[in-house]
Amino acid sequence: MNIKVVTGGVVEKNGKFLLVKEKQEICKGKWNIPAGGLDPNESLTEGAEREIYEETGCKVKATGILEIFNEVLEGVNVVCFFFDTKIIDEEIKADGKEISSVKWFTYDEIQNMKDELRADGYFLRILKNKIDNNILPLDLIRITKNNSKSK
């Protein structure tokens, strides 16, 4: 069985959430939270921060864990890690390759966009965790790289 690790995060400012409009054929035109596949030699938090930057232009720092889930899709075991983030530098711009638009929405607006959300808004639970402050500490994940000690 193939394994794919997906990592991403929630970017929130003044009660609004930053979503990306997908350009890839499998989910073209659907809104999603910024996320994508983990690259070789990067930690889960580095992957989330990179994906958010690549898709939105917004530099962030992962600050907590909002959701970890696993699903098997057509023979691929997908493990997903979604983080709460803090904005470091906000220069919003779509990447143009995978993302056609980046926009801020309130939670209520997102709830009313059912047909416009990727996978029926699977990420609504993740946003709700943020709203309800159901955020786990990052130190629940032991991250080691290049035989270095845990961070």
Instruction: Read off the CATH number of the domain in which 111 is found.
Output: 3.90.79.10
Whether 24 is covered by a domain: the verdict is yes
Residue 151 belongs to a domain? no
> Whole domain around residue 121: which residue ranges?
2-139
Q: For the chain, what percent of residues have pLDDT higher than 90? A: 75
Q: How many helices (H) and strands (E) does the chain have?
A: 3, 9
Overall average pLDDT of the 15-33 stretch: 91
Kindly report, residue by residue over 33-78, the tens digit of the pLDDT.
999 999 999 999 999 999 999 999 999 999 999 999 999 988 899 9
pTM of structure: 0.90
Predicted confidence at residue 81, as pLDDT, reads 97
Calpha distance 113→109 (Å, rounded): 7
117 neighbors 20 (Cβ within 8 angstroms): no
* Lookup: tokens for 52: 């958010």
| Spatial CB neighbours of 128, under 8 Å, sequence gap ≥ 6 | 107, 134
151: pLDDT strictly greater than 70: no
Q: Evaluate if residue 27 carries a pLDDT over 90.
A: no
Residue 80, token pair as written in the block: 């997903």
Query: Would you give the distance in Å from CA 48 to the centre of its chain?
Result: 6
Q: Confirm whether 78 is domain-assigned.
A: yes
Instruction: Please indicate, yes or no, if residue 148 is contained in any of the structural domains.
Output: no
Is residue 80 within 8 A of residue 9, CB to CB? The reply is no
Residue 72 lies in a domain: yes
Number of domains in the chain: 1
pLDDT at 140 over 60: yes
Domain assignment of residue 149, yes or no? no
**Looking at the predicted structure, is the pLDDT value of residue 120 above 80?**
no
Residue 145 lies in a domain: no
Does residue 76 sit within a domain? Answer: yes
Report phi then psi at 43, rounded to 5. Answer: -80, 170
Over residues 7-33, the mean pLDDT reads 93
